[in-house]
Amino acid sequence: MTGVRVVSLVPSLTEAVAVSAPGALVGATEWCSHPEDLDVARVGGTKNPDVRRIIGLAPDLVIANEEENRAPDLAALRAAGLQVLVTEVRDLPGAFRELARVLAACGAGRPGWLAAAETAWGRLPEPDARLTAVVPIWRRPWMVLGRDTFAGDLLRRLGVDNAYAAHAERYPRIPLDELRAVRPDVVILPDEPYRFTREDGPEEFTAPSVLVSGRHLTWYGPSLARAPAVLGAALREAIG
221 shares a domain with 139: yes
Average pLDDT of the chain is 95
CA-to-CA separations, 106 to 20, 35, 86, 116, 123, in angstroms, rounded: 9, 17, 13, 20, 29
Amino acid 237: pLDDT: 81
**230 and 157 housed in the same domain:** yes
> What is the reported pLDDT for 126?
84
Give the CATH number for residue 157: 3.40.50.1980
Pair (61, 160) in one structural domain: no
pLDDT at 128: 79
pLDDT exceeds 60 at position 1: no
**DSSP character at residue 46:** S
Per-residue pLDDT reduced to its tens digit, 2-46: 589 999 999 999 999 999 999 999 999 999 999 999 999 999 999
Could you tell me if residue 168 is inside a domain? yes
For residue 5, the model assigns a pLDDT of: 97
Would the pLDDT of 98 be above 70? yes
In three-state secondary structure terms, 41 is strand
Find the range with the poorest average confidence among 48-62, 64-78, 126-140, 143-157.
126-140
Q: What is the pLDDT of residue 240?
A: 65
Residue 226 and residue 129 share a domain? yes
The angle subtended at Cα 63 by Cα 62 and Cα 65, nearest 5°, is: 135
pLDDT tens, position by position, 149-184: 999 999 999 999 999 999 999 999 999 999 999 999
- End-of-domain residue from the set 110, 139, 161: 110
Residue 1 lies in a domain: no
Tell me which residue range forms the domain holding 81. Answer: 6-110
Q: By the 8 A CB rule, do 25 and 38 touch?
A: yes
pLDDT digits (tens, 9 = 90+) for 37-68: 999 999 999 999 999 999 999 999 999 999 99
